[in-house]
Amino acid sequence: MAPLLAFASVAPAAAQVSAEDIQRSVQLQESWLYLTRDVAEPAQWLPGGQGFTYRKTVEGGFVFVTYDSATNSRRAAFDQTAIAASLSKAMNQTFEPLRLPFERISYTADGKAFEFRYAEEGWRCTIADSVCAQAPRTSQPRGFGVVRDLTVPAINTPRRSPDGKWEAYVENFNIAIRPVGGQWKRISFDGSEANFYDPESIVWSPNSKKLAAYRVIPGYRREVTRVITSPSDQVQPKVIVQLYPKPGDPVDIDRPVLFHAETGKHIAIPEALFANPYRMGKFKWRKDSASFSFTFDQRGHQVGRLIEVDARDGTPRAAVEERAKTFINTGSGREFYHEVSELGAEVIWMSERDGWNHLYLIDGRTGKVKNQITRGDWVVREVVKVDDAKRQIWFAAGGMRPGEDPYLQHYYRVDFDGRNLTPMTTVDAYHDVAFSPDMSMYVDTYSRIDLPPVSELRRTSDGSLVATVEKADISRLVAAGFKAPEAFVAKGRDGKTDIYGVIVRPRDFDPNKTYPVVENIYAGPHSSFVPKKWWPFGYQSSGDKTIGMQSLADLGFIVVMMDGMGTLNRSKAFHDVAWKNIGDTGLADRILWHKAAAAKYSWYDIDRVGIYGGSAGGQNTLMAMLFHPEFYKVGIAYNGCHDNRMDKISWNEAWMGWPLDESYAASSGVDNAWRLQGKLMLVVGELDMNVDPASTYQVADALIRAGKDFDMLTVPGGEHGVLRSVGPVDYGLRRHYDYFLRHLAGVGTPDWNRMPASAPGGTVPAAH
């Protein structure tokens, strides 16, 4: 058995942090918010293209502004006072007009309403009369996209053909069609509860003579049961059940079917090219009605295809095929293809086949590469627009500009043949660009961690400036002591690759002192996480954004964050470190980064390093504590997905693979809990709908069985963002602060139980 580590640096509490100091940190986000003006967020164009909407800071909070691009004038996007009142009534909560429960909106097609998501639900508000209600359901819910929730009926509204003469829907699990106004006639007879036709998948051919649909063998209905121990409307607990497929579970098997409408003829489609599917894409008919296509993601995410089906005889073929020895990244906007002119003879295809994420022009008849459109040691991050007529592509990318942080996002235009690569953005910053529907204009909102946001309206033709929409004013914030975080770069485990991070100091920083260090970690393979934009109000955090890095730093810590290997937006090799190895967490790179910072700065106490994170960051935190106890001394893990077999199927199979193997156990915080040596606090919300709360409880069980001491906070009613979702915000934050102050800094904190308090309702019961 390994000897216990000596924590010589953590002495008995000799100093004391006051309640006032902690409360000041708790309230920092609010106090800093009121000191900024015109901090604009990315724009959203109106459907008609006559203007765009964005949110910005004002005294007391945020307003949504609509900018008229023709007149360069501004107006309120909607009546925020009326919307706040309507939402308060609809949700049975209280919302202030300047603190609405959403950051961005999406307009309905007619522009008369907007939609947003809140508490896992979709909401819609009309603009003219400010009426808000839950948005109408547009599809049957699915458990993480792969198992249909059969307790909720599918949307079975008859699908009308493009010529308006036919309708199709599902009747008793089978396809039925009719001339509009005529009698329904079944054209399939093999559907059943265990092998049914999906009405939401029905797509007519452009010439209205054929239709395609999926026939479905349902997957396993795994349910996660949660207990609401402390409901607000009754004394007794409640139980809720969630459809929650996990790694290894059988998923829905979708099989394409083809029918000729007039004859009702069913044409069989051989299945060899799309056997063992994880997910099948929506049907896209070619505009000549001669064929249709769909994407196929094979279980395990190592084979992907664009399948074309001949509409005459149902013969399928692979128009494009992608293979990987590790994983094909099917998330984060990286699963992109475009059939040129809707005929399929050419396909724009996104791939990492040369080691970087790039675009290729594929011959849709042979599957061969006609030419690589983008090339180099940089990554395409998003395709914004493909113009078939001009044979041009607009896209976002990172890492193309020598000497610049490769995570900064810029926008470009390029021809299909790879020529005439043209930058649309030039300022050394992170750019969020929103193009007008007709592509004639764009709004460029850009910033860096040391450059407050600027929002500009420009012409797409030549990039010329039309107007400066907003320019942030942070003068009062700077006067209050705000300083931008320091960008810091060090070499990773291979001695060559740059690892990028940030350092946040206390506002009363003294270079002659030494400070314990706390790492804010989030290392999910689905993205990169170190802030590159200006930090609104000095805040950015994994798991729970209310845990501000600056507010923690102000209590006497250096707070840092970096992106180690295994995260996204670098090379394929950089990303592949996570393959069947999520437990790696990039910790080898992170520790070297810490050591480089300590070598440069005498005030950086490398012997007192703590770590915290939520969700994937919670798992990362536990991995750091279990596998590197010589380095990480104190950790707080929020709602961690501590065992990849316990978490959602989509995220975990994407990186850990299928079928399940020993790699899942190797990355498990449960199976490795016996390794704990430092001080650990587990935090879990009982109503987390993202990560099964049992994942945290199983870690606790394993720690108890191993005889380990640890701390645990279970939050009744707590959700995935556990500190945001329940109770006074200062409770969770001050528990967070207290833990690092006591166990990492070695200082005392107030006896909170002796602080003044009131009984519920403000009455004080008699003492007994």
Q: From CA 227, how far away is CA 229, in angstroms rounded?
A: 6
pLDDT at 767 over 60: no
14 — pLDDT class (breaks 50, 70, 90): low
Q: Are 615 and 638 in contact (CB under 8 A)?
A: yes
Residue 600 CA: distances (Å) to CA of 564, 604, 605, 611, 700: 20, 8, 11, 21, 38
Cα Dmax for the chain: 88
Cα gap 646→670, rounded to integer Å: 10
- Between CA 357 and CA 419 the distance in angstroms is 18
Q: So what's the pLDDT on residue 455?
A: 98
Burial status of residue 708 (CB atoms within 10 A of its CB: 0-12, 13-18, 19 or more): middle
Banded pLDDT at 545 (limits 50, 70, 90)? very low
As a dihedral over the C-alpha atoms of residue 345, residue 348, residue 354, residue 356, rounded to 10 degrees, the angle is: 180
Beta-strand pair 379-387/369-372: unpaired
Report pLDDT digits (tens) over 150-190. 999 999 999 999 999 999 999 999 999 999 999 999 999 99
Q: What is the mean pLDDT of the chain?
A: 93
Predicted TM-score of the model (pTM) = 0.95
Task: Give dist(CA 293, CA 223) in Å, integer.
Answer: 33
**Average pLDDT, integer, range 647-662:** 98
Neighbouring residues of 755: CB distance < 8 A, sequence distance ≥ 6: 19
Average pLDDT over residues 388-395: 98
pLDDT value of position 761: 61
566-609 pLDDT tens trace: 999 999 999 999 999 999 999 999 999 999 999 999 999 999 99
End-to-end CA distance of the chain: 50
What is the average per-residue pLDDT within 89-112? 95
Looking at the predicted structure, is the pLDDT value of residue 755 above 80?
yes
- Asked whether the predicted pLDDT for residue 611 surpasses 50, the reply is yes
Q: What is the pLDDT of residue 5?
A: 38
Element (H, E) at 409: strand 409-415
Of 232, 25, 149, nearest to 717 by C-alpha is 232
Residues 217-225: what's their mean pLDDT? 98
In this predicted structure, the answer to whether residue 474 has a pLDDT above a threshold of 70 is: yes
pLDDT reading at 207 higher than 90: yes
pLDDT of 33 higher than 70: yes
* pLDDT at position 135: 96
**pLDDT tens per residue across span 419-468:** 999 999 999 999 999 999 999 999 999 999 999 999 999 999 999 999 99
Cα–Cα distance, 726 to 292 (Å, whole number): 49
Quick check: 536 pLDDT over 70?
A: no
Q: How confident is the model at residue 721 (pLDDT cuts 50, 70, 90)?
A: confident
Cβ atoms < 10 Å from Cβ of 768: 3
Q: What is the DSSP letter of 135?
A: P
Residue 6's pLDDT band, with cuts at 50, 70 and 90, is very low
Whole-number pLDDT of residue 29: 81
Q: Is the pLDDT of residue 79 over 70?
A: yes
Residue 393: per-residue pLDDT: 98
What pLDDT, on a 0 to 100 scale, did the predictor assign at position 728? Answer: 63
In degrees and rounded to multiples of 5, residue 134 shows phi and psi of -60, 140
How much is the average pLDDT of 279-308? 97
pLDDT-based confidence at residue 11 (cuts at 50, 70, 90): very low
Q: Are 412 and 397 in contact (CB under 8 A)?
A: yes
Q: Assign 703 a pLDDT band (cuts: 50, 70, 90).
A: very high
Amino acid, single-letter form, for residue 756: P
Residue 9 clears pLDDT 80, i.e. is over it:
no
pLDDT at 546 exceeding the cut of 80? no
Q: What is the mean pLDDT of residues 653-666?
A: 98
Lookup: tokens for 209: 């003579």
Give residue 120's pLDDT: 81
In this structure, the strands spanning 486-491 and 465-471 are: unpaired
Q: Which residues pair with 414 in a beta bridge?
A: 393
Cα–Cα distance for residue pair 101/87, rounded to 1 Å: 9
Tell me: pLDDT of 630 over 50. Answer: yes
For residue 199, say if its preceding peptide bond is cis, omega within 30 degrees of 0: no
* Residue type, position 18, single letter: S
pLDDT exceeds cutoff 90 at 541: no
DSSP-derived letter for residue 767 is: P
245 has a pLDDT exceeding 80:
yes
Domains within the chain, CATH numbers bracketed: 19-33+482-749 (3.40.50.1820), 44-136 (no CATH), 142-328 (2.140.10.30)
Helices 729-740 and 19-26, interaxial angle, to 10°? 120
Weakest-pLDDT range from 298-312, 342-356, 644-658, 716-730? 716-730
Burial of residue 480 (number of CB atoms within 10 Å: 0-12, 13-18, 19+):
middle
Question: Residue 731 — very low, low, confident or very high, per pLDDT cuts 50/70/90?
Answer: confident
